[in-house]
Structure 1
Amino acid sequence: MSLKEQLKEEQKVAMRAKDKVRLGAIRMLMAEIKQREVDDRTELNDDDVITILTKMVKQRKDSIAQFEAADRQDLAAKEREELEVLQAFLPTPLTEEELATILDAALESTGAQGMQDMGKVMAALKSQVQGRADMGQISGKIRARLS
């Protein structure tokens, strides 16, 4: 079952359960997916859906930080609930050991020697870790290894 089909099924379950938060988050995600499909005139695959999910999770995290800075706990709590729903659809996160192994393999396969090769390493890693690890953290780890 593709991720889009899974989302449609979860949407139906949330409707039957009258779970407004879950239903709202899934509808928002489905709307974003549909928008991308219409804009690009293509059918999105699971990797594309994970890209959208990752973007939406990052947006929620940023919103939570901003709402807390503005002392708006009510809005931050709503964003946290949506974040939990969205994260449930992401693949399981990589452990530090798995990430280190993948990073070592990418550094070896690209033959990276210095900071000028960082783009090559990031490109090699992106498909393997997308949705499973924060690219910002990975970038920091690559910088540490290459410098």
Structure 2
Amino acid sequence: MAIKDQIMADLKTAMKNKQQDRLRVLRSLKAKLLEREISERKEGEASLSDEQAIEVLMKAAKQRKESIEQFQEGGRDDLVASEKKELEIINSYLPEMLSEEEVREVARQKIEQLGARDMSDMGKVMGAMMQELKGKAEGSLVSKVVKEELS
């Protein structure tokens, strides 16, 4: 089942079961997916691929993570807990992300394959890495690993 379809089905279930927190997050995701679908629309064609849906979900997860950091700095533990619950729901729709060690292995292969030697080659390596790991790893992790490997 496509990610968007799964979210829509779970939205209905959350409504029936009166799961207010889950319902709020799923409605938010539905809105973001519809927004992306409209922006991608071409000549009446209006369906998102799973890859595009994953991009939307990863962006939503990243926003939650940033909010958690900000709320922790501000001492707002109540909001931290709320954001963590939302992040957990969003992550349930994302595929398993690669670990740092797996990303590091791919980075080493790409650096060798591209013949990169130092930080001046970072853009070239990052472009190739992000193309290969799109939807499988966060960009911040990939960037960190590539910097470490090129240093």
Instruction: State TM-score, norm by structure 2.
Output: 0.86
- The letter for the 1-side match of 2:13 is V
Task: Indicate whether 1:138 and 2:142 are aligned.
Answer: yes
Whole-angstrom distance in 2 between the partners of 1:110 and 1:68: 40
- CA-to-partner distance for each residue in 1:43-86, whole Å, 9 max, x for gaps? 32111111111111111111112122222222222111111100
Q: Kindly provide the CA deviation profile for residues 79-102 of structure 1, in whole angstroms up to 9, marking residues without a partner as x.
A: 111111001111112134422322
User: Is 2:98 the counterpart of 1:94?
Assistant: yes
- Name the counterpart of 1:72: 76
Task: Tell me if the contact between 2:104 and 2:146 (Cα under 8 Å) persists in the aligned partners.
Answer: no
**Could you tell me how far apart the structure 1 residues matched to 2:75 and 2:38 are?**
38
TM (norm. structure 1) is: 0.88
Rounded Cα–Cα distance in structure 1 between residues aligned with 2:8 and 2:113: 39
Deviation at 1:129, TM superposition (A): 2.5
- Sequence identity, in percent? 39
Deviation of 1:104 (Å): 2.1
* Residues 1:96 and 1:140: Cα distance change in structure 2 (over 3 Å): closer
Which runs of structure 2 are paired with 1:95-110 in the superposition (5 Å)?
95-110=99-114
Alignment match, 1:26 = 26
Report 1:55-70 matches (<5 A): 55-70=59-74
Greater mean alpha carbon deviation, residues 76-85 or residues 109-118: 109-118
Shift of 1:132: 3.1
**Distance in 1 between residues matched to 2:137 and 2:85, nearest whole Å:** 20
Supply the RMSD in Å over aligned alpha carbons: 1.8
Unpaired runs of at least 5, structure 2:
none
Question: 1: distance between equivalents of 2:8 and 2:61?
Answer: 19
- State how 1:104-123 maps to structure 2 within 5 Å: 104-123=108-127
**For residues 96 and 56 of structure 2, what CA distance do their matches in structure 1 show?**
16
2:31 partner SS:
helix
Specify the code of the residue in structure 2 equivalent to 1:35: E
Q: Between 78-87 and 133-142, report the one with greater CA deviation.
A: 133-142
What is the rounded CA distance, in whole Å, between the counterparts of 1:83 and 1:14 in structure 2? 17
Change (3 A) 1:97 1:20: same
Contact 1:90 1:132 in 2 (8 A): no
